[in-house]
Structure 1
Amino acid sequence: MTPAMPVLVAVIGPVEPALLTAWTAHYRALGITDFRLAFHFPEHAPGPWQGRLLAATHELGIAPAMISTGPWHERINAELRDALREQAGPGWHLLADSDELHTFPTALQEVLATAEEAGRQTVGGLMLDRVTADGRLAHWRPETGLDRAFPLGGHLTHRLLRGDPRKIVLARSGTTVASGNHRAPGHKPDPDTLACVHHFKWRAGVLEDLRRRVECFTSGAWAEHTPAVRDEAGRLLDHTDRHHGRIDVADPRLGFRRVALDGLPAGWAAEARGIAARWRPPAANTHR
């Protein structure tokens, strides 16, 4: 029997309405019809921005499941995500942040059928950071499209920031998923069929967001579980400070090359499997 399509579960911050529109279109093209979205607006998000984003959501035909405000404590994302999953009910849940667009090895229902036949409760993915051709953290025009605006994909997150690039992209209801959707304790996704999680975080405004994150976590205004998120932000800021506000796309360690959303990068299965198998958290949260 063909599996039912998953419910998409996502926690959305104060992103550009155009990004939410592109994100929604991507997942609708994969066959998603049920979107369970929670919006969280920290204190720095201006009211008009909130209004524009929520208006865009309604124009997309999506009714927000939850809206919350206040400090972005590290626990908030997981708490809202889990409440959405409870609301979504039995079946498969697709987990994606608002800057993450998944590309799967086969059609989504085939991916689910394969997982079910193997008795797996999760499907995994690996992040591929998308950046501009020259590494600038640029504004983008919706008519340009994400692929044209951010044509390069590479491994910034784990090779420079030392963050966890692994993602749980699909999980059965009742399967616990860790904070950040990086792991599902007790469940190992098939390492040979990892989705490509195109990560469009590196846009205009992100440096200000990262500086705020460091300041708020350091001061205690936002509560954190560990300093890992703050340290990753610090590493990116250190890097862009050294490269005049840009990401060094010529650094061979980062492996940037041209990619697109309509298919997996060349050699992706072996590349992703190797990275996922070798990745380990940093021994200490210290900046380079």
Structure 2
Amino acid sequence: MPHLSPALIAVVGPVESPLLAAWVRHYRCLGVERFLIAFHFPDHVSDVRRHELQATARELGIVPTGTSTGPWHEHTNTELRDSLRHRAGPGWHLLADVDEFQQYPAPLGEVITQADESGHHVVGGLMLDRVTGSGSLTTWRPEGGLETAYPLGGHLTHRLLRGDPRKIVLARHDVAVASGNHRSPSHRPDADRLCAVHHFKWRSGILDDLRRRIQHFSSGTWEEHTPAVRDEAGRLLAHVGRHGGAINVSDPRFAFRRVSLDRMPSDWPAEARSIHTTWRSHAHSGQD
């Protein structure tokens, strides 16, 4: 019988060391034993920060497969991810960015067994954006934890940014996955069994990251396939500019409410299925 613990595949950028540590702990609690990560650092990242993150990985018992520096072209993440997947070899691969904490309706081994038995070669998820109670883009204290700092969960990615909230969270080794892990060109997940992808992106420093992204993609310093990524960044910056530097958590479109990694949001299967099956890249228009 094959081993049901998937290899976790991730390309890690210049995040806070406590976030990397919390992320590793989360997935170890889910049963992940094998981490294949690669660091990539844009040129603005200091040597001190790079070394700190590399030291954190070693302290966590993880040896990165490699560290690269330079422009973060739109294809950079995909190429590094696919190299890691090739190295991981046969079996199931868990795909997660370092700000994504996946929450499953059943133990990970059961999720994989069910997918195998039903003939699904991928398992899907839907982003649940986590923000502070006020919507402010603040830092967080490791001793308090991400849950305390960002207690609200809602649908910011697609209802404000017009980004794709769908994720491929688990894929068999021989299944291709598109850029950003948003879909598989040849396989569809079971829309009735979607995991919640708690998305802790909206932290202190994100606005500078988004401005840098727009600058580099607009100038051609970083290569892009479409303007979608920079357009999404611009929508977030425009929104917080209209709301005093914060996300408007009272906007009913975003459906922000208190959520927890300890239990699935109420009515999640129906909520996630509805969004997952009706989302279209051209479906959102109008003012935010």
In the TM superposition, residue 217 of structure 1 has moved relative to its aligned partner by 0.3
**Which residue of structure 2 lines up, in the alignment, with residue 179 of structure 1?**
179
1:15 aligns with 2:26: no
After superposition, residues 1-288 of structure 1 pair within 5 angstroms as 1=1, 3-282=3-282
Q: 1:31-60 deviations in whole A, cap 9, x for unaligned? A: 111000010000011110001110111000
- Structure 1 segments, 4+ long, off by >6 Å, are 283-287
**Letter in structure 1 aligned against 2:135:** G
3-state SS of 1:229 partner? helix
In the TM superposition, residue 4 of structure 1 has moved relative to its aligned partner by 2.1
* CA distance in 1 between partners of 2:157 and 2:15 (Å): 20
Structure 2, unmatched stretches of 5+, are none
3-state SS of 2:157 partner? helix
**Letter in structure 2 aligned against 1:256:** F
3-state SS of 1:262 partner? coil
Confirm or deny: 8 A CA contact 2:162 2:284 kept in the other structure.
no
Aligned residues: 288
* CA distance in 1 between partners of 2:94 and 2:280 (Å): 25
In the TM superposition, residue 2 of structure 1 has moved relative to its aligned partner by 6.6
Q: 1:157-201 deviations in whole A, cap 9, x for unaligned? A: 000000000000000001000000000011010000000000000
* CA distance in 1 between partners of 2:23 and 2:284 (Å): 35
TM-score, normalising length: structure 2: 0.98
TM-score, normalising length: structure 1: 0.98
In the TM superposition, residue 283 of structure 1 has moved relative to its aligned partner by 6.6
Structure 2 CA distance for partners of 1:283 and 1:192, relative to 1, 3 Å: closer
Structure 1, unmatched stretches of 5+, are none
* CA distance in 2 between partners of 1:129 and 1:182 (Å): 15
3-state SS of 1:144 partner? coil
Q: Percent identity?
A: 61
Confirm or deny: 8 A CA contact 1:235 1:287 kept in the other structure.
no
Confirm or deny: 8 A CA contact 1:124 1:168 kept in the other structure.
yes
